[in-house]
């Protein structure tokens, strides 16, 4: 289980007097199998996800994954929590898919031939074996995203974080990703702008202006988010008219 206890994230910004708050007053227990995070750009979605893997550390409060704190036992946390970024090219380190999956396994599997066999099995599981030796630049966006997913899942984390994984994908690849995610046994926490994808979740958090403003069933969360967007659009229009 993932637990956030009264978490706030603040950063200092050049040219600003006080620190900027990226997240504030977050207290959550994440037990559901599929959790979505929706909200506008810059609202704090990615910061929330990054907190769960220790990529961002809380300025106050604490984040625990199965009882391990992200500030004290980061390696234990990262062995349990995998992270898939929006752009797979920033995540894939090696020239080919096979090599990248093998790189993921270097820490856990010391024997080279065993490592190669495990990588092959992972690639086969995701239907990527025929692309294993191609340059990552020759793959389509969907294939790259699947490969990034395979490289993360190779080390069998119990939790998978995905930061807007469908943003760069076309309709067909988005559907492929959606089906792949549906078949995973890992707990998933995913930030997304794709409201259809959010509706597949068991629970959805709405983040706005560095706070969780809604936490509940997907349909109600999506409705809340739409209302927020409509209100902010209206507000912007009114302020333009005043000017």
* Contact residues for other proteins, defined by CB under 8 A: 53-55, 68, 72-76, 78-79, 82-83, 85, 87, 89-91, 93-96, 99, 102-104, 106-107, 112, 115-116, 133, 135, 137-138, 151-152, 155
Question: Residue 188 corresponds to which tokens in the numbers above?
Answer: 């998933």
CA atoms lying within 13 Å on the CB side of residue 186 = 23
> How far apart are CB 112 and other proteins at their closest, in Å?
6
Which residue, 32 or 99, is less far from other proteins as judged by CB? 99
How far apart CA 232 and CA 239 sit, in angstroms, is 11
The residue among 163 and 208 lying less far from other proteins, judged by its C-beta, is 163
Choice between 88 and 218, CB closer to other proteins: 88
Q: Of 120, 107, 99, 58, nearest to 78 (Cα)?
A: 107
Residue environment code for 97-125, b if the CB has 16+ CB neighbours within 10 A, otherwise e: bbbbbbbbbeeebeeeeebeebbeebbee
- Closest of 52, 3, 63 to residue 29, by C-alpha: 3
CA distance 220 to 32: 17
Least Å distance, CB 50 to other proteins, is 8
Is residue 162 within 8 A of residue 34, CB to CB? The reply is: no
To other proteins, the closest distance from the beta carbon of 83 in angstroms equals 4
Query: Least distance from C-beta 236 to other proteins, angstroms?
Result: 29
Cα-based distances in Å from 129 to 97, 101, 111, 122, 123: 9, 11, 21, 9, 5
Residue closer to other proteins by CB (options 114, 235) is 114
Q: Please state the closest distance from residue 240 (CB atom) to other proteins, in A.
A: 30
Which CB, 186 or 228, lies closer to other proteins?
186
Question: Of 106 and 125, which has the nearer Cβ to other proteins?
Answer: 106
Both ends of the chain: CA-CA distance in Å? 50
Smallest separation (angstroms) from other proteins to the CB of 69 = 9
Handedness of CA 23, 25, 218, 236 (dihedral sign): negative
């Amino acid at each position: 289980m993932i637990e956030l206890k009264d978490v706030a994230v603040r950063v200092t910004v050049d040219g600003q007097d006080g620190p900027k708050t990226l997240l504030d007053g977050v207290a959550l227990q994440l037990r559901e199998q599929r959790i979505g995070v929706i909200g506008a750009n810059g609202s704090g979605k990615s910061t929330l996800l990054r907190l769960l893997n220790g990529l961002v550390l809380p300025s106050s409060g604490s984040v625990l994954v199965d009882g391990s704190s992200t500030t004290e036992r980061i390696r234990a946390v990262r062995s349990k929590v995998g992270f898939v970024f929006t752009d797979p090219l920033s995540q894939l380190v090696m020239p080919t898919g096979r090599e990248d999956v093998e790189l993921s396994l270097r820490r856990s599997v010391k024997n080279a031939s065993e490592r190669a066999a495990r990588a092959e099995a992972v690639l086969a599981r995701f239907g990527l074996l025929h692309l294993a030796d191609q340059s990552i630049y020759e793959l389509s966006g969907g294939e790259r995203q699947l490969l990034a997913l395979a490289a993360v899942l190779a080390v069998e984390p119990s939790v998978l974080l995905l930061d807007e994984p469908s943003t760069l994908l076309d309709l067909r690849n988005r559907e492929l990703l959606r089906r792949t995610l549906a078949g995973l046994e890992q707990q998933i926490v995913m930030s997304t702008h794709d409201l259809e994808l959010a509706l597949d979740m068991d629970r959805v958090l709405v983040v706005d202006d560095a706070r969780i403003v809604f936490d509940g069933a997907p349909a109600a969360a999506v409705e809340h988010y739409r209302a927020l967007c409509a209100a902010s659009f209206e507000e912007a229009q009114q302020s333009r008219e005043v000017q």
